[in-house]
Structure 1
Amino acid sequence: MVETSLEEGVQNSNYDRQKELKAFDETNAGVKGLVDSGLAKIPRIFIDEEYKLERNNKNQDPGNSKTSIPIIDLTGVSEDSSLRREVVKKIGEACQKWGFFQIINHGIGVTTLDEMVDGTRKFHEQDSEVKKEIYSRDYTKFVNYNSNFNLYKAEVINWRDTLSCVMAPRQPHPEDLPPVCRDIMLEYSNRVMKLGETLCELMSEALGLKSSYLKDIGCAEGLFVLGHYFPVCPEPLLTLGTSSHTDSSFFTVLLQDQLGGLQVHHENQWVDVTPIHGALVINLGDMLQASFPLYLNLLI
C-alpha cells in the first residue's frame, strides 16, 4: 500500500513532497525495503534534477581516472625517524593540495577491513523486521538505523540506508549493537581509534607543531561510525547514493568496498578514487582543512 501511494504521488499534479517523505519514513524499512518490494521506478523524492542535468551536459567530465589522490605508505612511521619525516611531508602536501589521501600499511589488517564491510552488508541485508527494531531518528541514541539523516530537510534524498553508531568517547554497551555485526564493529572501532591517534600526531607535525598537539586539544577523542548501504537502483541515472558534500568533522576515515564510486573535487574537476584493497581514504573535515593552507609557511 505504501508503494502505491508513493508512485501515485509522482503522477499527481498536486504533489505533496512532505507526505511522500513521511510515507517512506514510516515504512521503517529504508531504501532496501523499496527494492525488496520490487518497485520498477524510484519515488520522486529520490530524483536528483541537478544530477540529471549534469549527465545530459556533454561537456561534463564524469570523472578523471588519469589523476589520483596521493597514496601514502605508513610502513615504519613509528620506528624510523627519517621515514616519518618523509611521511609527514607527504601528508602535509596532500592535506594542503587535496584534502584527501589514501593510506596503506596503516596497521589495520585486511581481514578486519573485509569483515567490517561484510558485517555492514549483513546488517542491511537481514530481514527488515529485525532492522525495524532500531529504526529511529532520535540521535541522542548511541545506535541508529535509518535512511538519510536529514530526510525532511535535504533538497535531494540519496539512495542509501545507514547504520550509525557513536563508538567514542563512550562506547555503547555491546548488547546495544546489532548482533550480526557487533564483534567486528567493536574490533574495527578500537583499531581505528589507535590509527586516529597516529594520524593526529602526523598531522600535528605537518603543521609544524609538537606531535601531541591535536590529541591534547581533544581531536582524537570521538568516533562516529557510519555503515552506508547502497541497494541496487532500478533507475540509477536519476539519483545518487551520496550527493556532493563536505564533512564537518575533524577528519574522516573512509573504508570503501571494491566496487568504488567515490569521487573527490580537485582543481575544478571530479577525480575518481580507485579503491585499493586494504587501503583507507582519509578525508579532511571542514574544521581541519582550514589549517592547512598555511602549511608551507609553517615549514619555512
Structure 2
Amino acid sequence: MTTSTGGFDRVKALKEFDDTKAGVKGLVDSGITTIPAIFRHPHLHHDLSPAASHLSIPTVDLSLPRSTVIDHIVSASKQWGFFQVVNHGIPLSAIENTISAIRSFHELPADVRSQHYTRERVGGVSYSSNLDLFRARAASWRDTVQIHMGPVRPEVDRIPAVCRAETLAWDEHAKEIAREVMGMMCEGLGLDTRRMEEMSCLEDRLMVCHYYAPCPEPDRTFGIVDHTDAAVLTVLIQDMIGGLQVKKEEDGKEVWVDVKPIPGALVINVGELLQIISNDIYKSAGHRVVANSHQDARVSIAIFYNPGKRGESDLYGPLPELISSEKGAFYQNFTISEYMGAFISKELRSKTLVEQFKL
C-alpha cells in the first residue's frame, strides 16, 4: 500500500476515517456527494462489465427426494461453487428478523454505534469498516459486525442489544442447514454423511454481518472486491437489494453472474478449505459485491464454517478416501494455524490459498 501520492497521505486519511468510528454509514449521513480518495479503485470501469444476464447460479430445492438433492448439490459444487437452497424449513420470519436487526444496528445514531467500534474481536465481537482497511489497495463501501459464534460462545453482552437475540437464534438455524448440506456433500463424494462434522467442520463459526450503505459514486468503488472464502462452507442470507456476483468461466472467458435474491433462500458456497479437502472435486469460486447504487442500504449476513480442532497434530488436506493411484493428492497437509496465518497475512483480493498449498 502506498503511503502518499502527489501530496496525498493515504495512511493519514485511513486513520482519520477509522478514528471517526462512524464507518461508511457516517460518511453517507454527512451528506457527501463524492467518495473519499481512500475508496477509489483505479481502473474500476474495466472491471465492471455488465453481468451475464443469461446465466444464473443453481437453485436447490431441499424438499425433493434426497438422492435428487444430493445430485443437484454435487453438480452445483463442481460447476459453480455456489447455489441457493429453498424449502429448507427455516421460517421466512427468522431470516427477515435477523436482517432487520442487523440493519437496525447499523442505522443507530453514530454516537451509539461508535461505542462498539473496534478492530479487535473483544469477547468474540467487533464492529468496524473494512476488515483489511490498512492492507487493501483501496477501501470498499461497507461496514461490518463480526460475531465469533463457536467453538467458544461469544460474550453475549458484547453483541449489540438491538441484534443480540436475532443473531444468536440465526446461528442455530443456519448450523442445522450447514449440517444437512455438509452431510449431502459428503455422500456425494462417497463418504460417510458425518465425515466433515466429525472433522469438527461445524464447530468454528464466524458470523459476518455486512451493511452496504448507498454509494454516491458506485462506479468508483466496490462493496467487496473479488475474493474467495477461506472457509469450508459459507451460508449467507441477503435482503432483496442484490449486488452479489459470482465469477464463472464460459467459452474460455470469465464472466460475472448476479446472485439474484430469492425470498427466503439461503446462498451457500464452497470455500477454499473444502476445495482442498475434496481434492479439487468441489470448487471454490471468486465472488464480489458491487457498490450499492440503490437508495436503500443492502444487508447480508454470512456464516463461515471452519474446523474447531486446531492442535498441532490436527492436520488438514485432501481426504485419504479421495486419493488413489489414479488420482493423487493435489495439496499438502497443514494445520489450521498455518492455513489461517496465510489468509490473514494478505489483503482480501489476493487470497489464493489453494495455490499456496498445492503440491
Band of TM-score, shorter chain? 0.7 to 0.9
Uncovered stretches (5+) of structure 2, i.e. residues with no partner: 283-320, 323-359
Residue identity opposite 2:180 in structure 1: T
Match of 2:102 in 1: 120
1:280 counterpart = 2:262: no
Does the 8 Å contact 1:95/1:292 carry over to 2?
Answer: no
- Say if 1:176 and 1:54 are closer, same or farther in 2 by CA, change over 3 A: closer
Q: In terms of mean alpha carbon deviation, does 164-173 or 214-223 score higher?
A: 164-173
Structure 2 residue identity aligned to 1:74: L
Alignment match, 1:145: 127
What is the CA–CA distance in structure 1 between the aligned matches of 2:62 and 2:208, rounded to whole Å? 24
Shift in Å, 1:159: 0.3
The corresponding residue for 2:54 is: 66
Aligned equivalent of 2:221: 239
The one of 154, 161, 164 equivalent to 1:172 is 154
Instruction: Answer 1 or 2: which has greater strand percent.
Output: 2
Identity of aligned residues (%): 41
Deviation at 1:212, TM superposition (A): 0.6
Counterpart of 2:290? Answer: none
* Higher-helix-fraction structure: 1
Matched residue type, 2:117 = Y
- Aligned pairs (5 A) from 1:40-189: 40-55=33-48, 60=49, 62-75=50-63, 83-139=65-121, 141-189=123-171
Shift of 1:140: 5.3
Which of 180, 189, 196 is 2:178 aligned to? 196
Indicate the residue corresponding to 2:308 in structure 1: none
- Larger relative contact order (C-alpha < 8 A, sep ≥ 6)? 1
Matching residue of 1:27:
20
The DSSP-based 3-state class of the residue aligned with 1:255 is strand
Q: Which amino acid in the other structure matches residue 46 of structure 1? A: F
* Number of positions where the alignment pairs a residue of Structure 1 with one of Structure 2: 276
| Partner amino acid, structure 1, of 2:262 | I
Query: Are the equivalent residues in 2 in contact too, given 1:92–1:292 (CA < 8 A)?
Result: no
TM superposition score normalised by structure 2: 0.74
Structure 1 segments of 4+ aligned residues over 4 angstroms from their partners = none
Preserved contact between residue 102 and residue 280 of structure 1 (Cα < 8 Å): yes
Change (3 A) 1:281 1:292: farther
Instruction: Return 232-241 or 114-123, whichever deviates more.
Output: 232-241
2:201 aligns with 219
Bigger drift between 275-284 and 174-183 goes to: 174-183
Seen in structure 2, the aligned counterparts of structure 1 residues 38 and 284 have a Cα distance that, compared at 3 Å, is same
Residue 283 of structure 1: how far off its partner (Å): 1.1
After TM superposition, the score normalised by the length of structure 1 is 0.88
In the alignment, the residues of structure 1 paired with residue 209 and residue 44 of structure 2 have an alpha-carbon distance, to the nearest angstrom, of 24
Q: Is the 8 A contact 1:99 1:289 kept in 2?
A: no
1:217 and 1:35 map into 2 onto residues whose CA distance is 44
Cα displacement (A) at 1:294: 3.5
Question: What SS does structure 1 have at the residue aligned with 2:227?
Answer: coil
Residue 153 of structure 1 aligns to which amino acid in structure 2?
A: R
Q: Deviations over 1:100-125 (max 9, x none)?
A: 01100112111000111111100000
> Does the 8 Å contact 2:123/2:155 carry over to 1?
no
Letter of the 1:41 partner, please give it: T
Contact map agreement 2:129 2:144 (CA 8 A) in 1: yes
Deviates more, 1:124-133 or 1:170-179: 170-179
Aligned-partner residue type, residue 222 of structure 1: D
Which has the larger displacement, 163-172 or 278-287?
163-172
